[in-house]
Amino acid sequence: MIIQIALKELWNGRKHLWMPGLAFLLGIAGVFFLWALEFRISSGLESEGRSMLGGDIEISHTEPLSESVVSDAFQITPKSTQSVSLIELNTMAQPTKGGMTQLVKLTAFEGPLPLYGHYEISPVGSFVDLNSEKPKIFVSIDLSKMLELEVGEGLTLGATSFLIAGIIVKSPEGIAGRFNLAPTVWIHQRHLEKTRLIERPGRVSYSQILAWPETRSVDARVIAAHLLEKFSDKNIRVKSFNNSERAFQRIFDQIERFASLVAFFSILVAALAILSALQNWLRDRRYFVALLKASGASEIQIRAILLVACLSFAAIVSIAGILAGTALDLLILPRIKELVNLSFNSSLPLSIYAMCFALGIAVVSIFSLISFRGYSEYRPIILLRDVQATSSVLKSNRLTKFVFFILAFLVSSLILIHEGLYSEFSIDSQTRQSSLFLFDVGEDEKAKIDSVVGGVPKAEVRWTPWVRLRLLRINGKPLEMDLNNVRRTETEFLVTDFLTPPPQEKVTDGELWSKAYESGVVEVSVARDYAKARGINLSDELDFELFGVPIKSKVTSLRAIRWTDFQPSFRFAFQGGVFALAPYSYLAGILTPTDDLRLQIKSILAAKLPSVSVLDVSDIKAELVRLMDKISYALNLILGFFIFVSLAILAALAREKSLRRTTEFAILRCVGASKRQLMRILALEFVQLSAWPLLIGTLCGGLLGTYLLQRYLLIPGIHWNYSFFAVPFVFGITAILTGLIFASSLTKVSPKLLFADH
């Protein structure tokens, strides 16, 4: 009986509920879509990471790995674990037929490559083919295009010429693959020694990739952590596949955080629409409630009827929202796939469906309970004499003002966050930046490079010294490993020292040193995002070790870094001059005024310094610009979605507000109000209701947005601009227009409804 009455009442109130219901449906659809996106990106990154690493974990060192290290690893990995040994280095390659040289990443392997991931080789072949007496090589398609190489031709690496046995058309490189520093070539290790390229050990990486059957539920991060603890040589690095896409994890993290905020805000504003709708629905049910009370219904029975009606509404809207979210997901998925270049699981876990459903039910239940607070006013006396109390109208106006405030508050804060992210992901094309990089330059090569660059007009070289340090303790406590946080598993860092930071860095907390290091505790500046992930604060004491020499330092500043500038930046930067006596290596960044001069310098350097790796980042930057454009598009899409939901809610509110005025408009009509006057009355009412809440909401939203940008997304700066200040106007005008559009039906209200018979 209770259910029957509840459902009938719900059906009777559909006129007032469909539009807020639609707004809430959009909210649920948005949350579903954003959660699905979050799941797909993280699972996509995971599977991509495994393919990229080629296994589950990688053990690496700058020196050959000893037998004991490999056997230690096999002791704690699952049975039937397989391994591949890799030796990698950057070198210059030249076709044997002559022509230009090119920096390549040489991968020499031994073992059943690949353990994970798929390589498409043309003509069809496998890596086993390279294990032959005659030196054979596979080259990436990029290199074959750059040097116009074909299968059957020769390629010289160091002192040996290789026969090109195949071209790798496709390899599991993931999103980071687009930004590889150099195209890759593959040879078998049996031919490496003959090339004589491993005579400079500092530039060679030795690694062992281990993989176990995918069905094993073994956490690679746990194995990696155990191995790190077990190895006595602390220069050995171990990483799990989860770290592979690290370079882009930060960007995805920020987008995910933005998406989570939008999801949260969407459901919040949708809930406000529900609150408003339920209050009005309940007001419509006042005679019904009074009648039930007069007929002897208990409080519990009345609450049960109302609650059943609300829960039925919640269930219908949540299911419809999930279906709409699924449709949205299917519709946008191909574009997202194209955007992030990740392979996505086609199916979503049931938990996302369940969570969205539970969220819908929970939000409606909570807000219906809030609405129910007012139902005790509906006493049976109103059946005899009903005058709508002034206070109830004012209460309804207060709720409308509150909703206006919240909408402006949330939208303006999201716009601000969007602006911050937008500027973070936009590439600075105005500032003159280095496009050629030379890594690991020794003191002996420095002067030669200076003279090459000095001979080219308007070209300039910027030197960045670096050393490799090990972080031992923070505030006297040994580092704690957090396997869930990639950044908390690292101990070894490349660091630099300077007197003033490069242009892409900005000190946001504390104060940077004003003079070079003389004696005592060394001042250190930490990248702000890393400091937050690691829990490092200003004034913390950090103990480092440089080739066995302890270095005591104190954090005096935090720096925000624009990583997307693709300029050399470091997590730890020390007071200038502190490494004066340390064995420096240099990173040279060369600025050139034109593309022609860049290519000219590149070829001179290749000829004069064949052993130095030259990296041309102009193509990578162009690719990065394209990717960032797509990310900005995704941000616009997410923000656009939220604004759409907000406007839908605003429309629902304005419509609801207008519909409430039927009797009043009939009275006004009856006493001679023209259509124009009615419109003007409604418009003025919306202006009066929305002006202050929108203005105050926008300003408060600005403060929240700035706070979230700086503390949650770690993006410095003030991003208030015209689009932010447009919020109250756009929302105000939308409210008025929507109100007027829906109110046009009010002007057709027949005054005859005022007669008692009607």
Partner 1 sequence: MIEGIEITKSYTIDGRALPVLKPINLKIEPGEFVALQGKSGSGKTSLLSILGGLDRPTSGKVLLNSREIQNLPEEGLVDIRRHLMGFVFQSYHLIPTLNALENILVPAKLAGQENAKERAIALLKETGIFERRFHFPSQLSGGEQQRVSICRALVNSPKIVFADEPTGNLDTKSGAEILQILRGLKGSRSLLVVTHDFEIAAQADRVLEIVDGCLVSR
The site for partner 1 (CB under 8 A) is made up of: 385, 387-394, 663-664, 666-675, 677, 747-748, 750-752, 754-758
Of residues 424, 452, 441, 372, the one with CA closest to residue 258 = 424
CB of 508 to partner 1, least distance (A): 51
Nearer to partner 1, 590 or 746 (CB): 746
**Integer angstrom CA distances of residue 719 from 26, 214, 430, 475, 610:** 29, 46, 19, 35, 47
CB of 291 to partner 1, least distance (A): 18
CB of 691 to partner 1, least distance (A): 18
Residues 6+ apart with CB under 8 A from 17: 10, 277, 281, 313
Query: How far is 449 from 673, CA to CA, in rounded Å?
Result: 86
CB of 751 to partner 1, least distance (A): 5
CB of 255 to partner 1, least distance (A): 47
Q: Can you name the residues that pair with 160 across neighbouring β-strands?
A: 157
Query: How far is 150 from 166, CA to CA, in rounded Å?
Result: 8
Query: How far is 205 from 464, CA to CA, in rounded Å?
Result: 22
Nearer to partner 1, 124 or 384 (CB): 384
Nearer to partner 1, 350 or 387 (CB): 387
Query: How far is 47 from 707, CA to CA, in rounded Å?
Result: 34
Number of alpha helices (DSSP H) and beta strands (DSSP E) in the chain: 18, 21
**Contact criterion met (CB below 8 Å) for 90 and 184:** no
Nearer to partner 1, 229 or 757 (CB): 757
CB of 756 to partner 1, least distance (A): 4
Of residues 87, 202, 604, the one with CA closest to residue 441 = 202
User: Looking at residue 32, what DSSP letter applies?
Assistant: H
Nearer to partner 1, 300 or 387 (CB): 387
Nearer to partner 1, 280 or 326 (CB): 280
Query: How far is 37 from 292, CA to CA, in rounded Å?
Result: 47
Nearer to partner 1, 145 or 379 (CB): 379
CB of 754 to partner 1, least distance (A): 5
Query: How far is 122 from 469, CA to CA, in rounded Å?
Result: 43
Nearer to partner 1, 418 or 660 (CB): 660
Query: How far is 258 from 713, CA to CA, in rounded Å?
Result: 8
Nearer to partner 1, 194 or 395 (CB): 395
**Contact criterion met (CB below 8 Å) for 19 and 651:** yes
At 313, which amino acid appears? F
Query: How far is 728 from 686, CA to CA, in rounded Å?
Result: 13
CB of 400 to partner 1, least distance (A): 13
Place of tokens 């946008």: 332
Query: How far is 412 from 703, CA to CA, in rounded Å?
Result: 9
Nearer to partner 1, 392 or 537 (CB): 392
CB of 375 to partner 1, least distance (A): 18
CB of 740 to partner 1, least distance (A): 17
CB of 393 to partner 1, least distance (A): 5
CB of 657 to partner 1, least distance (A): 13
CB of 752 to partner 1, least distance (A): 4
**Contact criterion met (CB below 8 Å) for 173 and 52:** yes
CB of 630 to partner 1, least distance (A): 52
**Contact criterion met (CB below 8 Å) for 658 and 682:** yes
Of residues 117, 41, 594, the one with CA closest to residue 329 = 41
Cα dihedral sign for 195, 198, 204, 209?
A: positive
For every residue of 447-498, DSSP letters joined together read HHHHHHHHTSTT-EEEEEEEEEEEEEEETTEEPPP-TT-GGGG--EEEEEEE
Place of tokens 């008025």: 736
* Torsional class of 477: left (φ above 0), alpha (ψ -120 to 50), beta (otherwise): beta
Place of tokens 């930057």: 621
Find the helix packing angle between 246-284 and 350-372, rounded to 10°. Answer: 40
Nearer to partner 1, 394 or 607 (CB): 394
**Contact criterion met (CB below 8 Å) for 620 and 187:** no
CB of 408 to partner 1, least distance (A): 24
Q: Can you name the residues that pair with 60 across neighbouring β-strands?
A: 207, 237
Residues 6+ apart with CB under 8 A from 246: 486
Number of Cβ within a 10 Å radius of residue 445: 18
Nearer to partner 1, 327 or 394 (CB): 394
Nearer to partner 1, 444 or 757 (CB): 757
Nearer to partner 1, 636 or 674 (CB): 674
Nearer to partner 1, 710 or 747 (CB): 747
Nearer to partner 1, 581 or 756 (CB): 756
Cα dihedral sign for 423, 429, 430, 433?
A: positive
Nearer to partner 1, 134 or 676 (CB): 676
CB of 676 to partner 1, least distance (A): 9
CB of 677 to partner 1, least distance (A): 6
Three-state SS at 502: coil
